[in-house]
Every structure is written in structure tokens, then in C-alpha cells.
Amino acid sequence: MPVRLGDIAPDFTAETTEGTINFHEWLGSSWGVLFSHPADFTPVCTTELGTVAKLRGEFEKRNVKVMALSVDPLDSHHKWIGDINETQNTVVNFPIIADPEFKVANLYDMVQPAMTDKTTVRSVFVIGPDKKVKLTITYPASTGRNFDELLRVIESLQLTAEYSVATPANWKHGEDVIIVTGVKDEDVPAKFPKGHKKIKPYLRTTPQPNL
Ligand code: BEZ
């Protein structure tokens, strides 16, 4: 079964490079990112894990914990981390699940057999503090992910979770946001004291409320 937006993220207990972890306990009240990799000792994955390690501070600022998965065993992960640290000039500082029996990979539908049934594709799940899936992204093995984009969408998700707003196409930190249509015109000034523009009855914008 695919894991869909709004579903409770399936819970699991798995061996990782940072010990045995129960996913929901480990998440606690944080946001979470779970992302899969096709295989250890592969070039694109090596750059991806190095990039995420370097962005650790950015994830922490947003109260996001990060966990990776590859279907190779734990001893392979530990050896590979040495290569990642050396070649990407960083220190891998988040758990990588060892999933040689594809237990978590299958739970999250990370194997897409029309591509290959031997490894996972590049799946990403963003999970909210309520343990619900807020975002899913799937890339093929040959395309490395854009983790700046992941940080951007997490900022949007956190903003829209807290305020009655949505973010427009290509929205970036600091730009105006959209007031959701459920907010009545008469309630807008009190809810959005920084002001607003009414471009159409259904298209009202306001400065980013949490700045
Ligand atoms: C890579 O990470 O470079 C990779 C992994 C599997 C297939 C293709 C590329």
C-alpha cells in the first residue's frame, strides 16, 4: 500500500548506524524526514548523504530530525560513512537504517519494481509532529535530490500548519503568502495585522506572518 498524505507514518523498529531505533519514539514531538537511497557505495547517494550532513544545522533550526535508509547491511553502512565523510568533507550525523530484508522499504513502498526490485528509489517523506505524512517526493536513482528545495517546502509546511495561509508557486522565505479561502474577508484584518492585498475574491495575499 502506498503511504499517502495525511496517513499516520507507519511505525517500525530498525537497526541503524546509531543503534536500534523505534521510529515514532525517536521522532518524539519533532518534525521528521525519512529518505531512501538505492545502495551504499554509489556516487549520487554519497553526495546526497554528505549534503544532508552539512545541512544538519538548517534541519535543527526547523525542529526536523533526519533519518536515511538503504537496503544494505549495517557493516556496509559503517564502511560507506567513512567514504562519505572523506569525500564530502563532512561528518554523517544522522541515523541510516540498515534494511537488507526490505522491511521498512516495503512498509513505505520505497521499491518501485518497474524501475528495479533490487533497491529502493529515492523516496522522501516529511512527517509532522502529529506523526502524519505531510509531503512525499519520489526521484529516480539517477537524479540526486535538491535538499534546498526540501528545506523550502518544510518551511512552507510549518507556516501553513501554524497560520491560515498557503504558499504560492515558487514561494521563498520572506515573500508574501496567500490567505486561505476559508478565512472570511471581515476576519482578515484581525488575523493578518501586517495588511493584505485583495487581487481577486479568492486571491488575497499578506506578508509572511511569522517574520
Ligand atoms: C547513485 O547513487 O549514483 C546511483 C545508485 C543507483 C543507480 C544509479 C545511481
Do 68 and 49 form a contact (C-beta atoms < 8 A)? yes
Q: Is 45 a catalytic residue?
A: yes
Using the 3D structure, point to which of 145, 171, 186 is the last residue of a domain: 145
Find where cell 544532508 sits: 52
- Do 121 and 21 belong to one domain? yes
Same domain as 116, residue 42: yes
Q: What is the pLDDT of residue 110?
A: 97
pLDDT along the chain (211 residues), means of 10: 95 98 98 98 98 98 98 98 98 98 98 93 98 98 97 98 98 98 98 98 97 95
Going by the DSSP 8-state scheme, the letter that residue 159 receives in this structure is H
Give the domain extent around 174.
Answer: 163-206
Residue from 23, 33, 24 nearest 67 by CA: 33
Domain count, the chain: 2
CATH number of the domain bearing residue 188: 3.30.1020.10
Three-state secondary structure call for residue 46: helix
Q: Is residue 152 part of a domain?
A: no
The atom of ligand 1 lying closest to the CA of 45 is 2
Inter-residue contact 122 to 31 (CB < 8 Å):
no
The catalytically annotated residue of 45, 111, 133, 159 is: 45
CA of 161 from ligand 1 middle (Å) equals 35
Together in a domain, 80 and 117: yes
In whole angstroms, give the CA distance from residue 133 to residue 110.
Answer: 15
Pocket of ligand 1 (CB under 6 A): 38-39, 42-45, 141-142
Span from the CA of 36 to the centroid of ligand 1 (angstroms): 12
Report residue 85 as a C-alpha cell.
565523510
- Position 152 scores a pLDDT of 98
Domain check: are 86 and 24 in the same one?
yes
Three-class DSSP category at 74: helix
- Please give the C-alpha separations between residue 110 and each of 66, 72, 121, in angstroms, as whole numbers: 17, 14, 6
Domain final residue, candidates 145, 172, 190: 145
Provide the pairing of β-strand 165-166 with 177-179: antiparallel
Q: Which residues contact 155 (CB under 8 A, 6 or more apart)?
A: 62, 173
Do 131 and 200 belong together in one domain? no
Task: Please state the pTM of the whole predicted model.
Answer: 0.96
In a domain, 168, yes or no: yes
- Which is the closest atom of ligand 1 to the Cα of 43? 3
Residues 134 and 185 in one domain: no
Q: How far is the CA of 41 from the centre of ligand 1 (A)?
A: 9
The domain that holds 62 is classified in CATH as 3.40.30.10
Q: Torsion over CA of 42, 45, 47 and 49, rounded to 10 degrees?
A: -130
